[in-house]
Structure formats: structure tokens, C-alpha cells
Amino acid sequence: MLKEFKEFAMKGNIMDLAIGVVIGGAFQKIVNSLVQDIIMPAISILTGRIDFSDMVLQIGSASIKYGNFITTIVNFLIIAFSIFLVVKYINKLHKLKELGELATEKLDRTGKIKQKHEEKHKEEEKEAKPTTKRCPYCCSEIKIEATRCPHCTSVLEEQKEEISD
């Protein structure tokens, strides 16, 4: 069982998650400091209050600390917006990668289509060239490469030389 737990703990996803939690904790401290030390004092200047954390609504013996709640909401909004920007950037990178793969695939397909077109064109060219000729002696149709007529056995050397010129 200990071996199974070790395999589970050492998998890439678990390690990625652990690293994410540690970095997230450090990021949260940075955001808390930004909110408490910079943003909330700036807001307090506008509202005339010095410290939001001291804002409390007293009802009987109960204290409702809405100042801390406002600070926590601001923290959450900043963290959520930061994560949104990171995810948006990562998605953009994935789209660029997919577009690059698509373009490569399209180029490959275009190359194959071009190659098929060239092969078809060569075949058409071969088909366009005459494959037979007439024997000048017996007027029968014979293969263009023939040097002797199979019907009348006449020698056709002169014609072959004319064709190759």
C-alpha cells in the first residue's frame, strides 16, 4: 500500500498540483499585501475612513465585520482577474500552437494535392503522346517503338530516326 501511495504521489499531475498550491499561496500573500497596503488605503482616502478592517456594524452584542469582508472581496477579485489573464494567455498559446499544426497539416495536404496533380498531369502527357504509327509499306498500325513492321516485315529504321529528332 505504501508503494501504491508513493506511485500516486509521484505522478506528474500530483506534483503539478502541489507546485500550483505553493505558488498560489505565495501569490495570495502578494495580493493580500497589495490590497491591504496599497489599494485599501487609497480607497480609504476617497471614503474618509482610515482603516477598513476596523469597520464593524454593532448589533447588540454581535459584531458584523463588513470591513474585513470588503477587503476579502477585493482580494478575491484581484486573484480571480489575475488567474483569468493567465488562463487567457495559456489558451491563446494553445490556439497558436493548434493553428501552427493546422497550417503545417494544410501545407502537407497542399503538397500531396500538388504532387497528385503533377502525377495526373504526367499521365495525361503520356496519354497525349502517340503510341502507334502507320507502316509506310502496308499501312497497318504498329507500335511507335517498332523498327520492323510485324505485318509486312519491312525495316522502319528511317522513321525511328525521324521521330527521335
Q: What is the pLDDT of residue 159?
A: 47
Mean pLDDT by 10 residues, the chain (165 residues): 76 76 87 81 74 79 85 82 85 85 71 69 69 86 86 72 50
| CA–CA gap between residue 135 and residue 12 (Å, rounded) | 80
Domains and CATH numbers, the chain: 2-91 (1.10.1200.120), 132-165 (no CATH)
pTM listed for this prediction:
0.45
Instruction: Identify the pLDDT of residue 155.
Output: 86
Determine contact, residues 67/55, Cβ cutoff 8 Å: yes
